[in-house]
């Protein structure tokens, strides 16, 4: 028996366990002050589900209690009622035409962005933004596609630094790459891509027979018309892109678990439809999302659901603005927030990400996320999130303003 030695290459959840450890140590040494800790580091939502979703779930539970309406295994790719709701609202309403066989309902974008590698040869060069959502990198390490870590970077991964100098947008690769992970609006930088710039990526991928894995988990936060909510708003995307979507941030489903992935029939390599491969992969390794969850997801698209979710999103968007404006007013260089729940800031006076983390924790009892944890190019940056309560967000921003305005 031989183990998958690729797992030995990965540090165990280095970023968030390190944050938790530092907060624990601070709390043990400063129990009184620690009572005032405000966490603006989390990527999890905090507001409860929209009432329309709760109502739909209750109704579905009742159906499960009667023999006539009980449901067993769900279809692997999703119930038609949800596939149609997704297709009509997220695509047809925006002039994008899909058949529901191109949409695959799942338990979330983490699983799908992590599992998608199954359908590609290990012999592909992967391109990722730096900083990046760690799942894209770690799953390629696990499967053996990453090569070895040399000076903090994986030898077979092509890194695309996203820095203030390039507006946090990846530049078109100067070398041949095969699998390109893009996430917009971006985690962690909070920055969005314009339709014009995304078109350049679509053209590159089509010309170079590369595939774009487009994570649009944060599309619900888009506010600007120049910013696409789906890569399929871009002409040519159907022949080069797979899109991942999630109800987690859109509708507070982080604990409920539901998302979906679009694999167009037009996406073909060597005459093979990737749609068939993903369908086969899901049918073999995934057994569908619960009926109750899918009814809740369907309710996201009801008139009531849409109204309620808009209010929830507005709450987080307001928090994002409070952080952005507050920090900008005391001299920080701040990014993101406009189309995203994330605020990305340059640490002051050339401080390291972790040094700044310690300062916020020790002096102000505010917890954020050091940018370096998302990749080497995140060093010198820091992420705050809009998912806290408005009261705590305001308090944290006041503390930061008082301290740094001095
Ligand atoms: N993709 C990105 C970029 C994320 O930041 C997250 C969660 O933080 C996810 C995917 C996970 O989404 P889900 O909850 O649908 O698994």
| Segment 368-403, tens digit of pLDDT | 999 999 999 999 999 999 999 999 999 999 999 999
pLDDT score at 265:
98
313 near 220, Cβ under 8 Å?
Answer: yes
How far is 165 from 331, CA to CA, in rounded Å? 18
Is the model's pLDDT at 280 over the cut of 80?
A: yes
Going by alpha carbons, the residue nearest to atom 5 of ligand 1 is 187
How far is 9 from 30, CA to CA, in rounded Å? 36
Beta bridge partners of 384: 343
Question: What integer best gives the mean pLDDT of the chain?
Answer: 97
Is the model's pLDDT at 160 over the cut of 90?
A: yes
How far is 184 from 172, CA to CA, in rounded Å? 16
Question: For the residues 109-133, what does the mean pLDDT come to?
Answer: 98
Secondary structure of 123-155 in HEC code, one letter for each residue: CCCEEEEECCCHHHHHHHHHHCCCCCEECCEEC
Is the model's pLDDT at 14 over the cut of 80?
A: no
Burial of 174 (0-12, 13-18, 19+ CB in 10 A): exposed
CA of 110 to the centre of ligand 1 (A): 5
Mutating to test ligand 1, I would choose from 15, 104, 105, 109 the residue with most ligand atoms within 8 A of its C-beta, which is 109
E strand or H helix at 160, and its extent? Answer: strand 157-161
Phi, psi of 384 (to 5 degrees): -115, 150
pLDDT score at 55:
98
pLDDT score at 17:
87
| Segment 67-103, tens digit of pLDDT | 999 999 999 999 999 999 999 999 999 999 999 999 9
Where does the pLDDT of residue 11 fall: very low under 50, low under 70, confident under 90, or very high at 90 and above?
confident
Binding-site residues, ligand 1, Cβ < 6 A? 43, 108-110, 113, 133, 183, 187, 215, 217, 246, 248, 254, 259
- Closest listed residue to residue 198, CA positions, set 166, 162, 235: 235
CA of 395 to the centre of ligand 1 (A): 27
Is the model's pLDDT at 13 over the cut of 80?
A: no
What tokens does 207 get? 């010309």
Where does the pLDDT of residue 42 fall: very low under 50, low under 70, confident under 90, or very high at 90 and above?
confident
Is the model's pLDDT at 324 over the cut of 90?
A: yes
How far is 227 from 375, CA to CA, in rounded Å? 25
Region label for 129, one of left (φ > 0), alpha (ψ between -120 and 50) or beta (otherwise): beta
Question: For the residues 176-201, what does the mean pLDDT come to?
Answer: 98
324 near 342, Cβ under 8 Å?
Answer: no
Residue for token pair 């985690």: 187
CA of 251 to the centre of ligand 1 (A): 13
How far is 181 from 397, CA to CA, in rounded Å? 33
Where does the pLDDT of residue 26 fall: very low under 50, low under 70, confident under 90, or very high at 90 and above?
very high
Where does the pLDDT of residue 15 fall: very low under 50, low under 70, confident under 90, or very high at 90 and above?
confident
pLDDT score at 16:
86
Question: For the residues 309-323, what does the mean pLDDT come to?
Answer: 98
Question: For the residues 172-180, what does the mean pLDDT come to?
Answer: 96
pLDDT score at 361:
98
How far is 108 from 244, CA to CA, in rounded Å? 9
146 near 96, Cβ under 8 Å?
Answer: no
Where does the pLDDT of residue 43 fall: very low under 50, low under 70, confident under 90, or very high at 90 and above?
confident
Q: Which atom of ligand 1 is nearest to the CA of 111?
A: 16
Q: Specify the higher pLDDT residue, 211 or 10.
A: 211
Residue 75 DSSP class:
P
How far is 137 from 215, CA to CA, in rounded Å? 14
Beta bridge partners of 334: 345
Beta bridge partners of 107: none
Rg from Cα positions in the chain = 22
């Amino acid at each position: 028996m031989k183990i998958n030695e690729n797992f030995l290459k990965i540090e165990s959840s280095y970023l968030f366990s390190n944050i938790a450890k530092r907060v624990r140590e601070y709390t043990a040494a400063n129990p009184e002050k620690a009572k005032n800790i405000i966490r603006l580091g989390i990527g999890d939502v905090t507001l409860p589900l929209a009432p329309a979703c709760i109502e739909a779930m209750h109704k579905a539970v009742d159906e499960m209690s009667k023999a006539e309406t009980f449901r067993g295994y769900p279809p692997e790719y999703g119930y038609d009622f949800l596939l149609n709701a997704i297709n009509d609202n997220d695509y047809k309403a925006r002039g994008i035409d899909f058949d529901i066989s191109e949409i695959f309902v799942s338990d979330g974008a983490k699983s799908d962005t992590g599992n998608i590698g199954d359908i590609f040869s290990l012999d592909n060069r992967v391109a990722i933004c730096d900083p990046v959502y760690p799942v894209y990198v770690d799953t390629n390490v696990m499967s053996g596609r990453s090569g070895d870590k040399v000076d903090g970077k994986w030898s077979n991964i092509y890194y695309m630094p996203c820095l203030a100098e390039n507006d946090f947008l990846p530049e078109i690769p100067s070398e041949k790459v095969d699998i390109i992970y893009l996430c917009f609006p971006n985690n962690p930088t909070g920055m969005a891509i314009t339709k014009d710039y995304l078109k350049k990526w679509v053209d590159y991928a089509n010309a170079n027979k590369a595939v774009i894995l487009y994570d649009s988990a944060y599309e619900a936060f888009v506010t600007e018309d120049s910013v696409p909510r789906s890569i399929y708003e871009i002409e040519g995307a159907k022949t080069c892109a797979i899109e991942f979507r999630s109800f987690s941030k859109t509708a507070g489903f982080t604990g409920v678990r539901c998302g979906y992935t679009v694999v167009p029939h037009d996406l073909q390599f060597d005459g093979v439809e990737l749609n068939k491969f993903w369908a086969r992969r899901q049918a073999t390794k995934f057994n569908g999302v619960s009926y109750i969850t899918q009814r809740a997801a369907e309710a996201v698209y009801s008139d009531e659901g849409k109204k309620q979710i808009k209010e929830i999103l507005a709450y987080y968007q307001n928090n994002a603005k409070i952080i952005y404006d507050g920090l900008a007013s005391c001299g920080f260089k701040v990014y993101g927030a406009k189309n995203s729940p994330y605020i990305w800031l340059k640490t002051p006076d050339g401080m390291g990400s972790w040094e700044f983390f310690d300062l916020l924790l020790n002096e102000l009892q505010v917890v954020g996320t050091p940018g370096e944890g998302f990749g080497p190019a995140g060093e010198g940056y820091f992420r705050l999130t809009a998912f806290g309560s408005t009261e705590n967000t305001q308090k944290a921003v006041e503390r930061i303003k008082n301290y740094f305005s001095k």
